[in-house]
Chain A
Amino acid sequence: MKNKIKNNESRRSFIKKSALLGVAATGSLTGFSAIASMTEEEKRKFMYELQKPENIIYSACLQCHNSCSIKGKVFDGKLGKIDGNPYSPQNMLPHLDYKSDIEFASDVDGKVCPKGQAGVQTLYDPYRVRKVLKRAGARGSNKWETVDFHQAIDELVNGGNLFGEGNVKGLKDIIVLRDPKVAKEMAADAKAFGKGKMTLEAFKAKHANNLDKLIDPNHPDLGPLNNKFVMMCGRIEHGRKEIGKRFAHGTMGSNNFFEHTTICEQSHHIAYKEVSNQWVVKDGKGKWTGGKTHLKPDILNSEFVIFFGTGAFEANFGKTSMAQKVTDGLVDRNLKLAVIDPRMSQTAAKAHWWVPIKPGTDAAFAWGMIRWIIENERFDKTALTNSNYAAAHETGETTISDATLLVKIENGKPTTFLRANEIGLGSSTDFVTMVDGKPTKLDIHGKKAIHGDLLTNTTIKGIEVKSSFQLVVDEAMSKTLGQWAGISGIKVNQITEIAKEFTSHGKKSAIDMYRGAVQHTNGYYNGVAIIYLNMLIGNTDWLGGMQVGGGHWHEDGSKHGIYNFKKANHPNKLTAFGPPITREKSRYEDYSLFRENGYPAKRNWYPHSGNIYQEILASGEDKYPYGIDFLFLHKGTPLLSAPGGNVAIDYVSDPKKLPIFIASDIVIGETSMFADYIIPDTTYMERWGTPHTTPDVAQKASKVRQPIVPSITEMVDINGEKMPINLEAAYIAIADKLGLSGFGENALDNGLPLTRPEDWYLKHVANIATEGKAKEATDEEMKIFESARRHFPKEYVNMDRFRKAVGGDESLFRKVVYILNRGGMFEDYAKSFAKAPYAEHQLKGFLKFFPENVAKTKNSITGVNYNGIGAYEVIKQMDGTPTGFETVKDDELIMSTFKEVFGGQSRTISNYWTQLSLDPENVLYINKVDADKRGLKNNDWVTLHSDSNPEGIVDLKNGTKIQVKSRVRVIQGVRPGVVTMSWHFGHWAYGSTDVVIDGETIKGDARRKDSACPNPIMAIDKSLNMCLTDPIGASASYFNTKVRIKRA
């Protein structure tokens, strides 16, 4: 800290001095009975209990995926209060310098949002599950018995007649491929077979002894039976994600480990990734690899920011760090904003332009802007004509684009980049650009600067070519501004004014996008079109433009760490192979199923996307490409949180279709209520993690989540180590029971154990310490560290065991403590300005208008190639059939959703401080025009209906049917024809209904049930039994449903 000396005074010394001066704060309250009755000792106690360093443990939130840095304040052994960690750039602007004294920091509270503040109520929710539950009735019957943890693990591993419904397979019958060497060889050969490079006969001959371990010996490329073990994770984040993959892939040998990303904002990530992946040449062969999945505006230095389908104050990634950058900017720096959103959000309320766009037409609006910018030549011509890095360097840019690169055109459609060898100019790894009309070989890393021509539309040696920029121009010009505006349902001047403003600040304009723009069937294209706008002004890596953010030190040890978990530390790891059940990151054409069936495939394959949440259960039910034997759901509730997720109730409630279903959950949730077993989990306040930070944060940040209080789940002894029952305990116990690698004694290199969570997580912190060159904690800090954990049972938090988990080295352990005492490691604030006018942390990459990889991919159902550029498309089914979404009948309204700032989808209903104090029930927001038309007034009850769910009902198949109904709230701030609703209500479990445990009825709390969740009425892709989905980015569609509302 560069603060004045008095700033460094600790709270205690401050009080002491005050006392010396005779003005001790509380002392002057004479005559105040409550205070006057206090003894000296009592008074000291209140200086101030919640703020003493020995009562503070820094950790990371998880009420939303931003994983803000939090300061947990412990009182009487319980978590008393949560505030923001002032060391973290996410939670204080500007944040404290990293070297600041922890006594000083203890007095400074950073900021957290209302959800973060309410975390205590997630932790101490009376409906938390503490012991393992096993169903004592049919699935979904809400009848349970508690069972011993080890008994449950034994039953899961060995199977048997577990429910009196006949024999059930155990994990031992599913995880059958257990030999790492065999798995590795089979994986390679299966891949070769899939691609037609090895015959089935040859494969069978070579692996004759192990064919019984395959899902289908005639389709070995589908992988081993192990793949029928599927891990489906909802809100999982770094730390737990990596240990989960270790378990699913390396220990269990299954290729099925999933996160929830497609119900969040995956198409936006895929758009960025495909636009920014890099052309890497190795051994004479080039390939597109890597790519950044996320960029954010550097709001702190921007002069104009457009929020496309998102904002800075309510949700996004994330509001707590973004909000003040915007508000400070508005007041102090004349920052201007535009918000593209059918709903008047809090951000729109502060914006200079609110564009209440028609849902699903984001790309049309972007193309309108692109057209205007091109016609008026307000793009950065210099940046765009930089054809290679040498040219970029010459003109002061860090990135290049493909604007001048030539793309081959066949039948009027762009196919691939023209390679130099195709016109006899050079190698197949070089591109071609026109320089003053002359075809020129282009090595993007070449030493000579090449500034190509932007517009090319010609034929070279019989090959029809256009420049990438020409493709963009053609698409932009394919419709008039009036037509683009018409599609978006807005006025032309909204396009032109915003386009003009956007191009009036040099590099200091930027566009942020999130859910709203991409959770559509055309989401990927919308995302790409929006990225084009940023590319047109070449704002990436410039302060005030788009930034990659500060990133983090590599906790996986892959760079200068001491324990490399990326490439090592898993002896006898199994090689998982075969397509994931969602067929993500897999090309249909690389599998034998394609050779046999061709197009259409039964369901789509997604080579560009991953973590396709809504496909997991739908594919399992469809048994395509294979079925699920064992579903392990963790911290997810797909039946509630996926659009139309309720269609899978049929599947999960039927043991004949889904043989074993277990859930790791903190409560009995909407989906875990259908499980056979629930393994209680620790909340984020009781466990470890190493979450990453939004690129909104310009400084490098490695956060550490650590237990603030002991878990309220039951303690369990696994081979002599005592720990709370949670996800990690389940991994350790299952691996142990099955005798598999990756957990237990000798699980890591050099014979090191992974017998409790700290063996994993503290080594990750050690990696941060090594790479980030952490300081050692002083003796005083070591004392505070231990004292702050005095409320933990010894077997839970033990300094010697921690030291051992780090590796035994005292110096390294002290560095780890230094980091833990600050909740992570954070770069100083001023660092982000060190390279002005450039961002400190840069992309320095190749951005493409023409993401070639996508253009080369075919939709596996239609067999038609995807569009190489981010064109505007209407809302379609997976098979390419338009849904007719764009034509709205008189009695129909378009359903949009959003999230109230205090509501976090499926997991905040227990937070009464927010739910009851701020808005006790969810409402359907409707424009007054639409309300008047229907004779609806504020607070009238309506039921919601759609073509996919005409009755507007959720059938739990346990005798309960729920009508989707809500009160209406009549407002002006929503586009007429659109209704919108936050979704964090409408629970049918999570403590909202009665459950019977060990014969005793636990009464549910009706306050959690009130009002609706809009997801059950959302549009279904009928032939796929799943919500409408973007075929490329795989985002689930939340905004492409037309609803009818009826007075209830």
Chain B
Amino acid sequence: MGNTKKNDRRDFLSKFGTAFIAGAALSPLISNASELLETENNVTEIKNFKGSFEDLLGGDYTNIKLRMQDDVRRALKKPMKDRKWAMAIDLRKCVGCNACTVACIAENALPPGVVYRPVIKEEIGTYPNVSKINLPKPCMQCDEPPCVDVCPVEATWKREDGIVVIDYEACIGCRYCMTACPYEHRMFDFGEKYSDGLPLVANYDKRPSFEYGKEWDREDRHSSPIGNVRKCTFCAHRLDEGLLPQCLTTCIGGANYFGDLNDEDSVIAKLVSRLNVFRLKEEMGTEPNVYYIR
């Protein structure tokens, strides 16, 4: 950089001083500030930034989503009992946009009143010291799920890979499980449609849900999952095909991480071993598989 220091600091100030509007006072000068920009045009090194948790990216991966997709596919090659799906949500990166909420509704064709992935938002503090907290809340897929034991017909259980599932065809809709869930996650499908009362049934209300790898039509108001309790499955129907959950893929803040906790090389396994990780209602002993980072 061929810097031409035509006006050194003293020169500049003396000129500058004379240029002042009469009566305007100089505020205290901060020493050695002027060197700052003159010497640091290039400042720190620019690196080819690859996104979040670069340290976890590893190898030739260009994107942590691709790495996590491979984590999932690697896990799928093992017997189901050897996998343990878990999710981590970095609250520092959640921007409260609800893209996950809507992506989940759209993917699972959820009816009004059923939301698998709410984001709890809260304002904290007193003006002007205010902030906001956003807390996405999927099913925790607990290792000790209180919702499972209360089911009188054994229509809900924990899959070998840790996902808590509901057999819609066995569920009698008694809703005990809803009361039992300490995270208030489970919801009842009353068979409503978003386009109820409109001039025609909208196509988006006709698209089946693909949960559990089956087509669940909503054309008939009496067949499952209408009249059943519903819940998040980490998008098991996608997962089983080697695809990441939709809340993760659409997150505009890049706040979600997912994978097999039993795989010590997975992104998720490395993440949950970090210091700033916690789980909701740890004291209940439910052993959730959703971890939060703050």
Contacts and interface: CB of A to CB of B under 8 A. Distances in A.
Interface in A951-1010: 971-976, 991, 1002-1003, 1005
The 8 closest A-B pairs by CB, nearest first: A25-B240, A506-B43, A327-B93, A349-B132, A313-B95, A109-B249, A836-B46, A124-B203
B7 A381 contact: yes
A312 B252 CA distance: 10
Interface in B121-166: 123, 125-128, 130-132, 134, 159-160, 165
Interface string A467-483: 00010011001101100
A506 B40 contact: yes
Given A78-B207, A109-B244, A376-B29, A124 B250 contact: no
B267 interface: no
Interface string A589-624: 000000000000000000000000000000000000
Nearest to B13: A377
B126 to A, nearest CB: 5
22 contacts: A17-B77, A25-B241, A32-B165, A48-B243, A78-B203, A95-B63, A114-B97, A118-B102, A124-B204, A301-B46, A324-B93, A331-B90, A354-B128, A453-B15, A455-B16, A477-B19, A506-B37, A506-B41, A901-B97, A927-B127, A972-B130, A1003-B199
A711 to B, nearest CB: 13
A21 B77 contact: yes
A453 B44 CA distance: 29
A83 B103 contact: yes
Contact of A356 (B47, B49, B128): B128
A29 B83 CA distance: 14
B101 A918 contact: yes
B212 interface: yes
B3 interface: yes
Contact of B250 (A25, A34, A83): A83
A185 B43 CA distance: 58
A836 B47 CA distance: 8
Interface string A293-314: 0000000110000000000111
A117 B102 contact: yes
Contact of B241 (A51, A326, A829): A51
B266 to A, nearest CB: 14
Interface string A267-306: 0000000000000000000000000000000001100000
A94 B254 contact: no
A729 interface: no
A480 B194 contact: no
Nearest to A452: B6
Contacts of A163: none
B6 A453 contact: yes
B202 A93 contact: no
Given A48-B210, A107-B243, A116-B99, 8 more contacts: A14-B73, A32-B165, A112-B252, A114-B102, A319-B252, A327-B253, A372-B27, A972-B127
Interface stretch (B104-112, B177-185, B257-265, B280-288): B104-112
B214 A75 contact: no
B1 A121 contact: no
B130 A344 contact: yes
Contacts of B41: 380, 382, 395-396, 506-507
Contacts of B97: 113-114, 313-314, 319, 323, 346, 901-902
A330 B106 CA distance: 30
A109 B256 CA distance: 14
A508 B202 contact: no
B4 A914 contact: no
B227 interface: no
Given A375-B26, A385-B6, A973-B132, A313 B253 contact: yes
Contact of A93 (B24, B61, B63, B101): B63
Interface in A100-125: 107-114, 116-118, 120-121, 123-125
A642 interface: no
B116 to A, nearest CB: 11
A537 interface: yes
A568 interface: no
A94 B50 contact: yes
Interface residues of A, number: 153
Contacts of B77: 17-18, 21, 23
A829 B50 CA distance: 9
Interface string A898-909: 000110000000
Contacts of B98: 114, 901-902, 914, 918
Contacts of B47: 833
B275 interface: no
Nearest to B37: A380
B118 to A, nearest CB: 9
A537 B37 contact: yes
A116 B250 CA distance: 10
Interface string B18-60: 0111001111011001101110111110111111111000011
A7 B99 CA distance: 26
B246 interface: yes
B123 A913 contact: no
Contacts of B80: 23, 28-29
Contact of B160 (A28, A83, A374): A28
Contact of B4 (A25, A109, A344, A382): A382
A301 B80 CA distance: 42
A385 B4 contact: yes
Contacts of A457: 19
Nearest to B27: A375
B46 A120 contact: no
Given A454-B12, A1003-B199, A328 B99 contact: no
Nearest to A78: B203
A508 B43 contact: yes
A391 B4 CA distance: 9
A216 to B, nearest CB: 48
A395 B2 contact: yes
A825 interface: no
B105 A917 contact: yes
A912 interface: yes
B66 interface: yes
